[in-house]
Amino acid sequence: MKNTLAKLVLPLAKPTLAKIHRYKDVHRGESCYLIGGGVSLKWFDLAAFADKITIPCGYLPFHNDFNKLQAMYLVIVEPWCFSPIIRTANPAKIIIKEPIMRAYRGIIKKYPEKEFFLHLSNYPFLRARNVKYLFRDINDDRLPADFITRRINAFEGSLTTSILLAIYMGFDHCYLVGYDYTHVPSRNLHFFEKGYGVLTAHPDYQKEFFAIAKEFIDITTITLDGTSDFVNSITYQKHTGRDPVFRENKELIEERYLKALATWPGYAIY
């Protein structure tokens, strides 16, 4: 059913999806930061990453220091995330997402100069001049036959999609910040949740994807105090010259955003 729907939608959505073509190689030869949502961000000063263009994902715009970054592009890859309600499979329930999405719509309106890349399924719920849409692949005749999306799913999550965009835009080196599953040891939890996180092993995390992606771009993950299995790594202290300092979520995010995030049952905000 999903494949049939995709075949029907893709021809109609082709002009919308083609808007990404303007970004091909616009940053040829540059390096960038890709910032995720991991708990390690609680120890990092975002001002330390102001020297390069940044591609954040998810709820990083809720961070008090977001404006210190050169965040030209933002990635939200979750399907249907701007739908006012969502049905979960396990447990089976309907969740009202409007508080979080209302807050994020405010972010998109607040920053008309920034480009937001969303999953195509959000098109019925959110349209704006600074919003672009992605779906399954980048259909651009200028891309080689062995381009990364022809060889592996690069739309699996925020990490893979952000790296894909960096490759497409021509960056030759990306630094991963707050992508904690690439750290050894790694911690679970988001920066906007309460606590220090729990050390959790993620063996072989994106091993196959990284093997292919590194043919197109150099990748270095910035860790709190560890290393990485499948990409180069450097600690925050060594990369920035600053000591990591822990701050709790309430010190990083305004209460109105914490209250919105707390409506999602999977987040431990308070």
The secondary structure of 140-182 as a DSSP string is -TTS-TT-GGGTS-S-SSHHHHHHHHHHHTT-SEEEEES-GGG
Separation CA 25–CA 165 (nearest Å): 10
Q: What angle do CA 134, 125, 1 make, to 5 degrees?
A: 65
pLDDT in tens, 57-91: 999 999 999 999 999 999 998 888 888 777 666 66
CATH topology of domain 23-261: sialyltransferase cstii, chain A (3.90.1480)
Separation CA 122–CA 80 (nearest Å): 5
Per-residue pLDDT of the chain (270 residues; tens, 9 = 90+): 455 556 666 677 888 999 999 999 999 999 999 999 999 999 999 999 999 999 999 999 999 999 999 999 999 988 888 887 776 666 666 666 788 999 999 999 999 999 999 999 899 899 999 999 999 899 999 999 999 999 999 999 999 999 999 999 999 999 999 999 999 999 999 999 999 999 999 999 999 999 999 999 999 999 999 999 999 999 999 999 999 999 999 999 999 999 999 998 889 999
**What is the b/e burial string over 74-96, where b = at least 16 CB atoms within 10 angstroms of the residue's CB?**
bbbbeeebbbeebeeeeeeeeee
Model pTM score: 0.93
Question: What was the pLDDT predicted at 87?
Answer: 67
- Positive or negative torsion for Cα 182, 183, 184, 190: negative
Instruction: Identify the residue whose tokens are 């959000």.
Output: 122
Nearest to 221 by CA among 232, 205, 206, 237: 232
Q: Are strands 70-71 and 92-96 parallel, antiparallel or unpaired?
A: unpaired
Q: Which residues contact 67 (CB under 8 A, 6 or more apart)?
A: none
- Going from N- to C-terminal start, the domains of the chain cover 23-261
Q: Which phi and psi (to 5°) does residue 167 adopt?
A: -65, -50
